[in-house]
């Protein structure tokens, strides 16, 4: 049995209020289109047909061109025409038709959909209604259907290709919002299987900012020994008997933080962006480096939600500087001070930290996706 996945992404998505197709708006590292399509990269699916409108074709090719067995198909004026175009290109015995605006479809849903088609001829992803639905006219409730008989219908929806093609050929002027209703009208009663609440549809702009949280961890160590009477931590010069040896200003706390940020975004580490072989970074301000790293993140579609920094140092005493350190980081990252946590502790005399040879800092951050 050869299986084709069809991903519908030809709509304009005007409800999201974006200037272009909502599925091509980068939220986090990937666009919803890339997420929806890559969900079907499985051994049991032999081709993926993606429907895009002509204006999105070039961008679709750029984003998806590397995917093997991908077929790009031009969308039609209506949903019906788009599905017809996709079905004409599908070579599988089974088709799974999926709405590109559901990027969180799971492996299990896809497997259940295929299994339902094999066992029952169709598989319609759905969830039992949890809200009460009513029928109304002129803002007056006219009837309240029994909730236990109500389901919300999602995608993917799976069919034998021949059957769903037959159903689509019978459409004259009727309008359908999904494939199960086309099948129900012209072929038979399709079978529901239970989906997952995470398989929600991205519709409004705010839906796009809920996805894509990322966590990151960074660590850095610098040794004492520079002829300087302060150490720089989070942009604050703290009096110290000796400075930290470094190519830059040696702000070990910000170095750990930047690595956490870059790591969360799936980027390279700070050594890659600010090589210590480059004389431009001699004595460089780590606050300026942080500003640059934050821009890199924004280009990837992320901003920091909160940051947590843990400093291990036997000396110097930092207690009186923590507030200013927090403020520096928060201001630069445009966060409230409460979103930046800084802890400083000694190592109880143990190891290189305890012997006062150096300072180690660990940092974690949470990034959230921003829509551009």
Residue ranges binding Mg ion (CB under 5 A): 220, 255
In the complex with Mg ion, the residue whose CB is nearer, 124 or 270, is: 270
Closest approach of Cβ 281 to Mg ion, in Å? Answer: 11
Q: Please report the DSSP string for 286-323 in residue order.
A: HHHHHHHHHHHHHHTTEEEEEEEEEEE-SSS--GGGHH
Closest approach of Cβ 350 to Mg ion, in Å? Answer: 22
Size of the chain, expressed as the number of residues it contains:
372
Residue 208's nearest CA partner among 339, 98, 103 is 103
Q: Which two tokens stand for residue 116?
A: 């339902």
d(CA 231, CA 217): 23
In the complex with Mg ion, the residue whose CB is nearer, 22 or 255, is: 255
In the complex with Mg ion, the residue whose CB is nearer, 116 or 364, is: 364
Residue 288's nearest CA partner among 327, 366, 352, 235 is 235
In the complex with Mg ion, the residue whose CB is nearer, 8 or 363, is: 363
Label residue 171 exposed, middle or buried (CB < 10 Å: 0-12, 13-18, 19+): middle
Closest approach of Cβ 348 to Mg ion, in Å? Answer: 24
Residue showing the smallest CB distance to Mg ion in the complex:
255
User: Scanning the structure block, which residue is given the tokens 């305890």?
Assistant: 354
Closest approach of Cβ 243 to Mg ion, in Å? Answer: 13
The SS3 assignment for 340 reads strand
In the complex with Mg ion, the residue whose CB is nearer, 214 or 255, is: 255
Closest approach of Cβ 332 to Mg ion, in Å? Answer: 18
């Amino acid at each position: 049995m050869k299986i084709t996945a069809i991903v519908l992404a030809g709509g304009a998505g005007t409800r999201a209020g974006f200037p272009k197709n909502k599925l091509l708006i980068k939220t986090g590292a990937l666009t919803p289109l890339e997420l929806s399509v890559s969900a079907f990269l499985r051994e049991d699916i032999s081709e993926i047909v993606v429907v895009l409108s002509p204006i999105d074709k070039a961008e679709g090719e750029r984003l998806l061109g590397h995917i093997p067995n991908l077929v790009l198909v031009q969308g039609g004026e209506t949903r019906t025409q788009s599905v017809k175009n996709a079905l004409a290109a599908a070579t599988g015995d089974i088709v799974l038709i999926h709405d590109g605006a559901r990027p969180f479809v799971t492996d299990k849903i896809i497997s259940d959909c295929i299994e339902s088609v094999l066992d029952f001829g169709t598989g319609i992803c759905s969830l039992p209604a949890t809200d009460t639905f009513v029928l109304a006219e002129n803002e007056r409730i006219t009837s309240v259907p029994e909730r236990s008989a109500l389901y919300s219908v999602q995608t993917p929806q799976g069919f034998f290709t021949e059957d769903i093609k037959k159903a689509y050929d019978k459409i004259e002027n009727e309008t359908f919002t999904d494939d199960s209703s086309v099948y129900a009208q012209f072929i038979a009663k399709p079978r529901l299987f239970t989906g997952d609440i995470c398989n929600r549809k991205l519709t409004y702009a705010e839906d796009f900012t809920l996805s894509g949280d990322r966590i990151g961890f960074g660590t850095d160590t610098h040794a004492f020994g520079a002829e300087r009477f302060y150490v720089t931590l989070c942009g604050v010069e703290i009096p110290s008997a000796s400075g930290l040896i470094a190519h830059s200003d040696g702000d070990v706390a910000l170095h750990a933080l930047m690595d956490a940020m870059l790591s969360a975004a799936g980027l390279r580490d700070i050594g890659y962006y600010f090589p210590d072989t480059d004389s431009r970074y001699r004595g460089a301000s780590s606050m300026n480096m942080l500003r640059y790293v934050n821009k890199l993140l924004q280009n990837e579609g992320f901003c920091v939600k909160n940051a947590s920094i843990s400093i291990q140092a036997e000396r110097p005493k930092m207690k009186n500087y923590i507030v200013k350190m927090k403020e520096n980081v928060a201001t630069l990252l445009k966060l409230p001070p409460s979103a930046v946590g800084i802890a400083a502790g000694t190592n109880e005399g143990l190891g290189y930290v305890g012997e006062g040879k150096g300072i180690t800092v660990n940092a974690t951050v949470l990034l959230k996706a921003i829509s551009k």
